[in-house]
Structure 1
Amino acid sequence: MGEIVLEGVVKRFGRVVAVDHVDLKIRDGEFFVLLGPSGCGKTTTLRLIAGLEYPDEGRILIDGEDVTYKDPKDRNVAMVFQNYALYPHMTVFDNIAFTLYLRRKEMGLTKDDIRRRVLEVAKLLRIEDLLDRKPGQLSGGQQQRVALARALVRRPKVWLMDEPLSNLDALLRLAMRAELKKLQKDLGITTVYVTHDQAEALSMADRIAVMNKGRVVQVGTPEEVYLRPKHVFVATFIGAPPMNLIECTIDAVGEDLWISCPGFSRRVPDEARKAIESAGVKKVYLGIRPEFISVSKHEAEGSIQGRVYVVEPLGSEYIVNVDIGDGLIVKAKILGPKEKLSPGEKVYLNMDWSKIKIFDYKTGEALA
């Protein structure tokens, strides 16, 4: 079992609050990702779980045991660092076995036990033919596997990873993402993975905690944080390109509420009206993902007129940037257009209104 619970955890460095009252519950066997920009507190949170830092407030539990102020060696966790941290003068075998040698008496291991464990994990990660080499003789991907093996050989309850793929080239990162996810599922080890790369988070995580300025903004499955963001920060941080946010006002017209935006207006649906009235807001962000907007040269009922600003070809997809007035650019992600679109050309946008999100302009919180 490897359930992790953080309760009101705070970590300060001088006047800087790196982790600000974080509450998390990471389930046993879960692949849990801490996602956010540089300086958001995700690595500090990971180090607090590892015992490399101690919190100023709150507590940390692993398997129901309070480990808040326990040393790393007493937590049964293993960590994989961004730079792999391999000993250059040791062979791969000795790098993997190093921790076992240090704690041989404590763990009751013989030399044969250690060799058997190293061979088992090396075979699992397909590096058994590299055991006699030094780290300097390995590729980046091979070094990463050695670092993973060194963490796994201890048979920890919790696996902690601090951007372990960031030093690999793009193609190898893609391959290793799939392999790492498969390995974690096969082993069933509770894993906490830190990254600023949203593609890594969405493709690998069971659940994601999106962090900003030391706080957890939203926790959810990849689908939830992508399709149902609870804050404009999540809406704009996740997605390539990110969600379109349009500043709009709420106006009462007779018995109806209307949302008025640059270039268009629409009656507020009944299901959204209650949330808007309850919040008492007059200014909102209307949010929609680029893939939920279609682009046409022909006007249709409810379409929004604009002019092509620029077209970005991305192989099988195109990002069409459309100026809908007042200098507002809306991005639409479409499959290859049937007709060529040129900058300055008049086009019509059709939004899937069932996918629209409405956010409070002042707080950024989702309303509907």
Structure 2
Amino acid sequence: MAEIRLEGVVKRFGKVVAVDHVDLSIKDGEFFVLLGPSGCGKTTTLRLIAGLEYPDEGRILIDGEDVTFKDPKDRNVAMVFQNYALYPHMSVFDNIAFTLHLRRKEMGLTKDDIRRRVIEVAKLLRIEDLLDRKPGQLSGGQQQRVALARALVRRPKVWLMDEPLSNLDALLRLAMRAELKKLQKDLKITTVYVTHDQAEAMSMADRIAVMNKGRVVQVGTPEEVYMRPKHTFVATFIGAPPMNLVECDVESVGEDLWISCPGFSRRVPEEARSVIESKGVRKIYLGIRPEFISVSRRETEGSIAGKVYVVEPLGSEYVVNVDIGDGIIIKAKVLGLREKMTPGDKVYLKLDWSKVKIFDYRTGEALA
């Protein structure tokens, strides 16, 4: 078992709070991703788990054992860095075997044991024919595999990765993403993976922790954070294009509550009304993903009028940017265009109201 728990973890650098009371529970064998923008605290959190940093508050447990102030070598974790950190003067074989040689007596290994382990992990990562080369003779993808092999050869309980694919070109990143996920599932190693790339997180993770300003904003499966964001930050950080957010007022009309937005209005559904009334909210963000909006030249009941601002072709899909007035642009993602649309054309948007989310304008928290 290799469950990881962070309980009230805080890390400060001077007056800057890099990690702010983080609580996380990472399951045994899980591929867990820390996702967020630069400076959000995700790499510091990873370094705290690795033992490269110590927290100012809280504690860290691996397998139920408190490792908060233990040295990295005593945690049985292995880390893969963004820049691979390979020794240029050593062969691939020696790079992979380096840690085993350092701890040979402690681990009770013979030279034959080390050679056997290195060849075993090299075959697993399909680099067995590169063992005699130096890092400078390898491509970026090959260097990345060597870094992975060096981490795996120790047979750690926990695998920590700090943006290991960020130095690869786009096509190779896609290929390595799939390979890395399959490798982790085959080995069943508890993995914590740091990235700022939401597509990478969505495609690889079992669960994602979305971080911002040192705090964990939401933890969930890729589907949960995408379809049911708990905060406007999550709604706009995840998704390409991100969720549309429109500022709207909440108004009482007779016995009903209405959402009044630029260009359209709608009665508040009963399931959302009690939440809005209990919190006394009078201003909200109405949110909807671009793929849940259709675009047509024909007006239908409940459609929203607007003008095409710009059309972005994305191969099989198009993102149609529509100005609905007051400078508010709504993005709709459509699979192919039946009719050519150019800037200035009058169009009508139809929202799938079952997919609409409501957020508190003041706090950004999801209401319904």
Which AA in structure 2 matches 1:223? E
Question: 2:189 maps to which residue?
Answer: 189
Q: Equivalent residue for 2:253?
A: 253
Q: Distance in 1 between matches of 2:35 and 2:121?
A: 28
Q: Give the structure 1 partner of residue 108 of structure 2.
A: 108
Match of 2:82 in 1: 82
Mapping of residues 23-172 of structure 1, within 5 Å: 23-172=23-172
Q: Which amino acid counterpart does residue 314 of structure 1 have in structure 2? A: L
- Looking at structure 2, the residues matched to 275 and 234 of structure 1 have their Cα atoms a distance apart, in angstroms, of 20
Residue 301 (structure 2) aligns with: 301
Aligned to 2:228: 228
The residue number in structure 2 matching 1:366 is 366
Once the two structures are overlaid, the 10-residue window that deviates more, 272-281 or 151-160, is 272-281
Match for 1:353: what amino acid? Answer: W
Residue 142 (structure 1) shift: 0.2
> Partner residue of 1:238?
238
Q: Which amino acid aligns with 1:126?
A: R
> Where in structure 2 are the equivalents of 1:280-291 lying within 5 Å?
280-291=280-291
Deviation of residue 50 (structure 1)?
Answer: 0.1
Q: Name the CA distance, whole Å, in 1 between partners of 2:105 and 2:14.
A: 40
Where structure 1 has 5 or more consecutive residues not aligned to the other structure, the ranges are none
Deviation readout 1:171-216 (Å, 9 max, x if unpaired): 0000000000000000000000000000000000000000000000
Instruction: Give the drift of 1:160.
Output: 0.1
1:317, 1:272 → 2: CA distance? 33
Q: What is the root-mean-square deviation in Å for CA atoms of aligned residues?
A: 0.3
Tell me the residue number matched to 1:322.
Answer: 322
Q: Matches of 1:124 and 1:211 in 2, distance apart?
A: 33
Distance in 2, matches of 1:115 and 1:286, equals 60
SS of equivalent residue, structure 1 residue 160: strand
Name the SS for the 2:271 alignment partner.
Answer: helix
Once the two structures are superposed, what CA deviation does each residue of 1:131-183 show, in whole Å capped at 9, x if it has no partner?
A: 00000000000000000000000000000000000000000000000000000
Shift of 1:303: 0.2
* Residue type of the alignment partner of 1:23: D
What is the identity, as a one-letter code, of the residue corresponding to 1:154?
Answer: R
Give the CA deviation at 1:77. Answer: 0.0
Distance 1:273 1:337 in 2: 37
Q: Does 1:180 align with 2:180?
A: yes
- 1:250 is displaced (CA, Å) by 0.4
1:275 deviation in Å? Answer: 1.2
Q: Counterpart of 1:3?
A: 3
CA-to-partner distance for each residue in 1:263-282, whole Å, 9 max, x for gaps?
00010111111111111100
Name the aligned partner's letter for residue 187 of structure 1.
L
Scaled by the length of structure 1, the TM-score of the pair is 1.00
Instruction: Tell which deviates more after alignment, 101-110 or 269-278.
Output: 269-278
| Pair 1:208 & 2:208 matched | yes
Q: For 1:302-338, what per-residue CA distance to the aligned partner results, in whole angstroms no more than 9, with x for missing partners?
A: 0000000000001100000000011100000001110
Q: Deviations over 1:16-38 (max 9, x none)?
A: 00000000000000000000000
Residue type of the partner of 2:341?
L
Please tell me the residue identity of whatever aligns with 1:171.
Answer: L
Distance 2:33 2:358 in 1: 26
SS in 1 for 2:43: helix
CA distance in 1, matches of 2:296, 2:142: 49
| SS of residue paired to 2:350 | strand
Deviation at residue 235 of structure 1 after TM alignment: 0.3
Please give the alpha-carbon distance, in whole angstroms, between the structure 2 residues aligned to 1:94 and 1:275: 61
SS in 1 for 2:141: helix
1:330 partner letter: I
Q: Percent identity?
A: 89
CA–CA distance in structure 1, aligned partners of residues 292 and 328 of structure 2:
18
SS at structure 2 position matched to 1:121: helix
CA distance in structure 2 between the aligned counterparts of 1:319 and 1:350, rounded to whole angstroms:
15
Alignment deviations for residues 319-363 of structure 1 (CA, whole Å, 9 cap, x no partner): 000000111000000011100001000000000000000000000
Quote the Cα distance in structure 2 between the aligned partners of 1:233 and 1:4: 26
What are the superposed Cα offsets for residues 230-262 of structure 1, whole Å, 9 maximum, x if unpaired?
Answer: 000000000000000000000111111100000
Aligned to 2:264: 264
Tell me whether 273-282 or 258-267 shows the greater mean CA deviation.
273-282
Name 2:340's counterpart in structure 1.
340
Task: Say whether 1:349 aligns with 2:352.
Answer: no
